[in-house]
Chain A
Amino acid sequence: MKFGRFVLRRLIGIFFVLLGVTLATFTLAHVIPADPIAAALGPNAREAQIEQMRREYGLDRPLPEQYLRYLSHLVRGDLGRSIRTRRPVADDLRDFFPATLELSLAALAIALLLGVPAGVLAAVRKDSLIDHATRLFALLGGSLPIFWLGLVLIGIFYSKLRLMPGPGRIDQFVEPPLRLTGLYVIDSLASGNWAALRSSLAHLVLPAITLGWYSTAVIARMTRATMLEEMGKDYLRTARAKGLAERSVVVGHALRNAWIPTITVIGLAFGSLLSGAVLTETVFGWPGLGRYATAAAVSLDFPAVMGVTLLAATVYPLVNLAVDLIYHYLDPRVRLG
């Protein structure tokens, strides 16, 4: 079937992308002159310790051999051991990625649920107060640095008003839910742990707003623009002429066609959410992949850097693939291939 072949072809493409990514990251990680072992062991480390750890991590071998060993472990699902945390990288990713995924999904949900209606309203009531307010909101979203926005939100809603909980994923006195997916909201729902659900939802609000604001702005602007374009087209006049309610005209006809470019933006937004998570996680003490990646990069922990890069390089094309499939579903004229 055409559909299956398309997906298969893309997956094969992803495989080659990943192979390229491993080579590029590996090379980059090793042209840096500094020594990750020295970074991990600190100023007091004796030469013998450094030598021993270098042997443990196989860093005393020639580079090509190191790369081949890495690949041969990789195909067995072994991402190596982090130099900083001394744990298997796969375990670290399993611990930290769900936190980032949960945050990004929450931010995306906010961006979609606020951005699309705001864009539609702004287009329908062009040049009205709503339109201007949306524009201002979008302008702010595009120009406020995440770091600053996060600090301000914490300062107001946590420190001053005490309406929202502080940094972290869950309250310090609430035990995290039993791990199923690693997404606290899902896991606490699944295990019926209402205290954990409440606490983790409350902890999601500020970081998700911080992270999602920019995407909300982009989606709102994009929706407004494509809606305006559609609204001027003939088929809408026809729809109105045959007596459809304005609401059906806007939502059922115009929005339906305005969706396609918006989906593209959402796909891109998801990527930027994952990278924006680095800053958001730092500000909100969110134990996610962004912070893990930063710490790994700073300490030259290349097995961890490779692991994060590989994960990101897998997620990105998969999101793109999903976007393409959604296109096809929304507009069968968009051909797969």
Chain B
Amino acid sequence: MLSVISSVFIVVPAFNEERSLGQVLSTLCSKGYSVVVVDDGSTDDTWSIVCRFPVSGIRHIVNLGQGAALQTGMKFAILQRAKIVVHFDADGQHCADEISHLIEPILRNEADVVFGSRFLREEDRLQIPIKKRLLLKAATVVNGLLTGLWLSDAHNGMRALNLEAARKVTIKENGYAHASEILLRVREAGLRFTEVPTKVAYTEYSMAKGQPLWNSINIAVDVLLRRILQ
């Protein structure tokens, strides 16, 4: 069982997360997973926090964006012969206890990619501020139309991929549009996918760190331009 857990690589992209990263890494390390932190050109003490934990630390010399950080982490995990790669936010929004539920469909060989969703359980749904909830629902429609993959949640940073999926899903969108791009790659590669309920803790800090609501328009434009110009 221990070898299974250590072959699960948790990729944590971090940009100026000195306030929350220590707590997040401490919880993840206590679970026995292999943790890869990609410091995406932080200008605060994020890197010195990474160095305090038994995690693989990768440092981008300049800030490239969350999508680029995730791809760097995934590439490293594949090189380390990971069996499962999990994307996990550094701002403390996600719950480490839920990783075991997230990877279950992959361990049972029922899915290649598992997406976390805040809309499958009533209590998780109600946690989302109303404005964000409406926007996320609108984003699921935009994502569905652009990618052909209809999910209950959009831009949920928690997802798990098996090795085959991690190899096939190559993120080229450096910014936040990677969330939609992943859906596109999953559909193009014909990977099996499912959703599992995950809760998201909305703290003042995570709300401030998260993408502003209007950024959704930028994301939609990015996705659309890539579809046209690719």
Are A and B physically bound partners? no
Task: Give the B-binding residues of A (Cβ under 8 A).
Answer: none
